[in-house]
Amino acid sequence: MYDSWSIERTIDLWLAEDIGHGDLTAQSMLDPDQTAEFYMNAREELVVAGIDVAASIFGRYDRTLDVKTHVRDGTRVAAGTRLLSVSGCARSVLTAERTALNIVQRLSGIATETARYVAKIEGTGVKLLDSRKTTPGMRMLEKHAVTCGGALNHRLGLDSGVMIKDNHIAVCGSIKAAVARARAMTPVLTKIEVECDRLDQVGDALEAGADVIMLDNMSIADMTEAVRMTAGRAKLEASGGIRLDTIRAIAETGVDYISTSRITQAAPAVDIGLDSPD
């Protein structure tokens, strides 16, 4: 879920970036009172995300436009599916077109890629998580797209939980000292996660009372051993080296979560176009 008020301010920035001082093409070729109707169509199978944001872009630029969405975010659609209709001032529609398409193509690309990863671990009980490796200024929307694809959000920001990594441990001196300091300084219901890349560190994190342990770039054998060592005393999150061809084997080790930045950083935009009626 995203905050609509914040998105409106972001849309203003997007439109200003693309339009500049005015759309020279639309203003020179189209009469001010010329009207038209266009349809936003999927040109490949995809999972929809950001369709309401696309609609808001048209409405934000010209409130007289009639904009209707025909699908909901999170819906898997076939090529040729009509996603959105927009009619009214032709100048306005064509001026806002690229911004609307850019966002829905990007977000639907993330949702579609996420769904591919989720499908690979179906039936294992493991939950797929995203990461903070998102496009600056786009985190709220990209994480929304991840949920449209069937995964869950990890931390939304640094204020969403405690993640103790190797550099934190180095500064504090040990995992035990780092967890103890975090426990003393954070609200009582805040989860504390510790990143571990060796099995001895997993043992230290368990002894320190970590709520979640990240198994960072561990082998399948080591992850399996970490599951045995932990025996349910903490949640285990596998991370690092997660790909479509590796995620199933990782899930089958018995970890609780798998996190990857690939679903946001490496997701290709999907093919969506704005077409006039035949």
**pLDDT at residue 218 is higher than 70:** yes
Q: What is the CATH number of domain 123-265?
A: 3.20.20.70
Would you call 133 a catalytic residue per the annotation? yes
195 included as an active-site residue: yes
Shared fold status for 4-118+267-275 and 123-265:
no
Domain residue extents for the chain: 4-118+267-275, 123-265
| 235 included as an active-site residue | no
- Evaluate whether 116 touches 266 at the Cβ level (below 8 Å): no
Report the distance separating Cα 188 and Cα 184, nearest Å.
Answer: 9
- Rounded to the nearest integer, the mean pLDDT of the chain is 95
Q: Which of 236, 251, 272 is nearest to 41 (CA)?
A: 272
Residue type, 6: S
Q: In the annotation, is 43 catalytic? A: no
pLDDT interval class at 5 (50, 70, 90): confident
Residue 17 CB-density burial (10 A; 0-12 exposed, 13-18 middle, 19+ buried): exposed
Of 43, 76, 133, 248, the active-site residue reads 133
So what's the pLDDT on residue 278? 65
The confidence score (pLDDT) of residue 238 equals 98
Residue 2 has pLDDT above 80, yes or no: no
The 10s digit of each residue's pLDDT in 11-39 is 999 999 999 999 899 889 989 999 999 99
Average pLDDT over residues 129-157: 96
Examine the residue annotation and report whether 82 is marked as an active-site residue of this protein. no
Residue of 43, 82, 98, 181 with catalytic role: 98
Catalytic option among 195, 204, 237, 256? 195
Catalytically annotated residue among 116, 155, 165, 183 = 165
- Considering 97, 113, 204, 216, which one is annotated as catalytic? 216
Distances (CA, A) of 183 to 29, 195, 200, 208: 64, 16, 21, 10
Q: Per CATH, is 4-118+267-275 categorized as 3.90.1170.20?
A: yes
pTM of the predicted protein model: 0.94
How far apart are the C-alpha atoms of 102 and 107, rounded to whole Å? 9
**Structure token digits, residue 22:** 């005015």
Residue-wise pLDDT tens digits, 107-129:
999 999 999 999 999 999 999 99
pLDDT (0 to 100) of residue 88: 97
Question: For every residue of the chain, which 3-state class applies, written as one string?
Answer: CCCHHHHHHHHHHHHHHHHCCCCHHHHHHCCCCCEEEEEEEECCCEECCCHHHHHHHHHHHCCCCEEEECCCCCCEECCCCEEEEEEEEHHHHHHHHHHHHHHHHHHHHHHHHHHHHHHHCCCCCCEEECCCCCCCCCHHHHHHHHHHCCCECCCCCHHHCEEECHHHHHHHCCHHHHHHHHHHHCCCCCCEEEEECCHHHHHHHHHHCCCEEEEECCCHHHHHHHHHHHCCCCEEEEECCCCCCCHHHHHCCCCCEEECCHHHHCCCCCCEEEECCC
The per-residue pLDDT for range 64-98, each reduced to its tens digit, is 999 999 999 999 999 999 999 999 999 999 999 99
